[in-house]
Amino acid sequence: MENLECPNCGNALANGVAVCGACGKEVKDDEIARPPQDQEKGPGRKNLYAVLAVLLVILGGVALLIFTGLLPNPMKGGGSTAAIVNGEKISIAEVDQKFDLYKKMSGKSGQPDSTTPEGKAAAADMRMQILNAMIQEKILVTEAVKEKITVPPQEIADKISTVKKSLNLSDKDFDEFLKKHGMSSANFEKRVERDFLIEKLIAKGTQEKGLTKDAWLSELHSRAKVEILLAK
């Protein structure tokens, strides 16, 4: 039975009633308020529910696969990141760059045969060793920043000048020397700055805090947050 309402007071009316029993007002058939039809019975709403149900099943399946490790988790680091150290990323491209430099410097005789399983395993192990070295350096550099250690630009410039003199190279020859070793002047300046940061960080622990070098390094590593994402 259809439920009807009086347009004047909202009282429930039976079918065919011309006068509201609550307010005494005459009501016309075209004025009677009818509740909206149940939209869930319409084909559009049914189709929508069907689509939502399928999406929930698909999304639930993907979530399950991520949870069980059968699919990579897009929220975990990302495919271009090898590791995250104290909130700073080490990209796979950086690792590959250093690995390529290692292969270039070691020559063919020092490189494993990448066509054999043993060679591939050796190459993967070397990449992990390079990544571990980069992680150790990143820990020290980021901890130096936490300790508010800085390096004046003049100190970096003086160090580079000393290196040039020790090698007896002009600015042009020094740039060529860097290129042969896969570096630019800007990269070398950053290298020198990192070395100074690490040197001053160690000095701060041993001189100001009174710790041995090993104890200080152990403390720095224990408080660092490291997440390795590169698969071996």
Q: What are the residues whose beta carbons fall under 8 Å from the beta carbon of 141, sequence distance 6 or more? A: 194, 197, 198
pLDDT (tens digit per residue) in 52-110: 444 444 344 433 433 334 334 433 444 699 999 999 999 999 999 888 878 877 766 66
Q: What are the residues whose beta carbons fall under 8 Å from the beta carbon of 232, sequence distance 6 or more? A: 124, 125, 128
Residue 161's pLDDT is what? 92
**DSSP category for residue 27:** -
Residue 4's pLDDT is what? 62
- Contact call for residues 110 and 121 (beta carbons, < 8 A): no
Instruction: Delimit the domains of the chain by residue range.
Output: 39-68, 81-228
* Rama region for 44: left / alpha / beta (φ>0; ψ in -120 to 50; rest): alpha
What's the CA gap between 102 and 45, in Å, rounded?
A: 63
Domain 81-228 = CATH 1.10.4030.10: yes
Residue 52's pLDDT is what? 44
Q: How confident is the model at residue 230 (pLDDT cuts 50, 70, 90)?
A: confident
What's the CA gap between 80 and 73, in Å, rounded?
A: 13
Residue 48's pLDDT is what? 45
Report residue 159 as tokens.
Answer: 């160090």
Residue 108's pLDDT is what? 66
Report residue 69 as tokens.
Answer: 């490790």
pLDDT (tens digit per residue) in 154-213: 999 999 999 888 888 899 998 988 887 777 899 899 999 999 999 999 999 999 989 999
The pLDDT of residue 31 is above 90: no
